[in-house]
Structure 1
Amino acid sequence: MLDTAAIIISQGKKIAYAYAEGVNDNMTQSHFHDFFELYYLLDGERLHMIEGETYHFTANDFVLFPPHIMHYSYGEKDMPFKRIVLYFTPDLITDEDVRQKLLEKVTIFTTQSLKASSILPLLQDLTRELDSPGKYHDAFISNQLNRLLLSILRLEFNAAKSIPKTRSAQAVDYIHTHYMDDISVNQLAEMLYISPYHLCHEFKNATGKTIIQYLNTTRILHAQRLMLETDYNITRISREVGFSNLTHFNRIFKKVTGVNPSEKKKQYKTNKW
């Protein structure tokens, strides 16, 4: 699925949204943004893996991701869904206390939240203005976005519980927490009491990637986070995320991102909010 909202943000806009619906349209790899994401499920069911934990979403559940949180969504076979995603940069949040609160952690809202139904009309008012700008457009967007976020923060809700993990999910979880270490297929298989062959088969079916492909992509995602959050040089970043060979790191980085590490680092410096 083409992420049109992310493309708009990458072109310099501070806020964008995208509506989508589909069947069997699944991500296969965790990713993160350097902006906020509000994901609202309008209809159907979806599974979200967030920082190694999996959550089951049904209609009118939504989640607010701060920047740099690893996540991806997928659905069961032949399960249709409709959703809205809203992306916005941190500087659009006008109140410093609100901004810091929203930056603290992922917040998941389920239909157990009695007042959650009040959020969708606010979100739809915002998306309509983005589609058809009216007078004082920028002021309206700022006001509506901050009203939406304050309304979310004032909701009363129960903490969402993650669902039991499959072996593939356990392997993914281990990779996300030990990506900086030496990890082998045999090691994962022994840990999960399964043969390497069957683990590789299950993992590829679940994620669309081999274990090594998934490990390398996860390492590169974390390398990008270090570029955003630290002043480490490329050599140190490569070591921090588990690469013992700088040439290998450079090759995998370009394969995953399309550019070499030094180019990506320059891009992040240019686009800091």
Structure 2
Amino acid sequence: MIDQASMIMTNGKCIAAERILGVNDNMIKSHYHDYFELYYLESGQRYHMVQDRSCCMNTGEFIIFPPYKMHHSYGDNDVAFKRLVVYFKTEAIMIHEITEKLKVSARVYRLADRSEIYSLLKEILKEQEKNDIYSDEAMQMLLNHLLIKIVRLEGAEVEVDKQNRITQIIHYLHKNYTENITLDMLASQFYLSTYYLCREFKHYTNSTIIQYINHIRISQAQLYLMETDKSITQISSEVGFSNVTHFDRVFKTITGISPSAMKKQIAGKRKRF
């Protein structure tokens, strides 16, 4: 499945929307963005893995993924679904308190009356399709109207909390990613054979354990680059790499650029704002 909205964001937009109808379109592995994602399920049923937790979503429910939170979605075989997503960067949010509230953790929203939320999402998509000289500003106004409504919701937020043996292991990895975690140690701690652990982890995440740990480390490193003035050497050590050379190599493999290049990009954005 081609993610057109992601391509729009890559081209420099602060907000992008997309509607897709699919069957058996499952993400191959967990990923993360440097922007928020609001995922509204228009029809069908989907499962979401968010960091170390999972949940089931039904028609009319939506979830907001904060930046740098690993996630992926999947569904049962031959079950059709339709979803509408809106991606938005932090700088598109006009109210600082809303940014702080939304970035803490992913949340599923289940509403008795979802008509206003759904209407605003569709309006954002319409403005993108209109694409005239007012569309960018109109999309930002609609987005902020939408976010104000969302943060005002009472009792609609549901924590992502479904647990099983593999999610327990994933939870452990997120808590201990800075440590030297070996396959044998992990299998022993959770009373599993290494074969079973590798097979089930791969089935659940479509990733090896080492790949998954590296993604956790690099997502945290990106947060440090965004939110602190720590040096690359210090960040490398704090996210669990034994040397900077290895950190540089893994960072570039996952993000496409070196940590020093990303640091320069972030510094340039700070000067503009």
Cα 1:12–1:53 change in 2 (3 A) is: same
Say whether 1:54 aligns with 2:54. yes
Counterpart of 1:191?
189
Comparing 71-80 and 201-210, the one that deviates more: 71-80
Identity %: 42
Any idea what the Cα deviations from partners look like across 1:202-260, whole Å, max 9, x if unmatched? 11122111111211222122212211111122211111111112222222222222222
Cα 1:215–1:75 change in 2 (3 A) is: same
Q: Tell me the amino acid that sits aligned with residue 25 of structure 1.
A: D
Q: Tell me the amino acid that sits aligned with residue 60 of structure 2.
A: N
Counterpart of 2:120?
122
SS at match of 1:242: coil
Counterpart of 2:89?
89
Q: Give the whole-Å Cα distance in 1 for the aligned partners of 2:24 and 2:30.
A: 17
Cα 1:182–1:73 change in 2 (3 A) is: same
Q: Which runs of 5 or more structure 2 residues have no equivalent in the other structure? A: none
Q: Tell me the amino acid that sits aligned with residue 233 of structure 1.
A: S
Q: Give the whole-Å Cα distance in 2 for the aligned partners of 1:198 and 1:24.
A: 25
Q: Give the whole-Å Cα distance in 2 for the aligned partners of 1:136 and 1:254.
A: 37
SS at match of 2:158: coil
Note the C-alpha offset of 1:137.
3.4
Cα 1:179–1:76 change in 2 (3 A) is: farther
Q: Give the whole-Å Cα distance in 2 for the aligned partners of 1:35 and 1:14.
A: 9
Cα 1:138–1:173 change in 2 (3 A) is: same
Q: Give the whole-Å Cα distance in 2 for the aligned partners of 1:203 and 1:175.
A: 12
Cα 1:212–1:51 change in 2 (3 A) is: closer
Q: Tell me the amino acid that sits aligned with residue 167 of structure 1.
A: R
Any idea what the Cα deviations from partners look like across 1:47-103, whole Å, max 9, x if unmatched? 122232211101111012333333332223333321111112233333444444444
Counterpart of 1:42?
42
1:246 aligned residue (244, 247, 264): 244
SS at match of 1:94: coil
CA contact (8 A) 1:253 1:261 kept: yes
Say whether 1:73 aligns with 2:73. yes
Note the C-alpha offset of 1:127.
0.8
Q: Tell me the amino acid that sits aligned with residue 16 of structure 2.
A: A
CA-based RMSD: 2.3
Counterpart of 2:107?
107
1:175 aligned residue (173, 176, 197): 173
Q: Give the whole-Å Cα distance in 2 for the aligned partners of 1:133 and 1:240.
A: 44
Q: Tell me the amino acid that sits aligned with residue 257 of structure 1.
A: T
Cα 1:28–1:268 change in 2 (3 A) is: farther
CA contact (8 A) 2:14 2:89 kept: yes
Q: Tell me the amino acid that sits aligned with residue 255 of structure 2.
A: T
Any idea what the Cα deviations from partners look like across 1:107-165, whole Å, max 9, x if unmatched? 3202xx21223211111012111101457434433332222222223333344254542
Any idea what the Cα deviations from partners look like across 1:179-208, whole Å, max 9, x if unmatched? 111111112212221111111111112211
CA contact (8 A) 2:55 2:160 kept: yes
Say whether 1:150 aligns with 2:187. no
Q: Tell me the amino acid that sits aligned with residue 197 of structure 1.
A: Y
Comparing 33-42 and 56-65, the one that deviates more: 33-42
Counterpart of 1:21?
21
Counterpart of 1:5?
5
Matched pairs, number: 271
Q: Give the whole-Å Cα distance in 2 for the aligned partners of 1:164 and 1:104.
A: 19
SS at match of 2:44: strand
Cα 1:103–1:175 change in 2 (3 A) is: closer
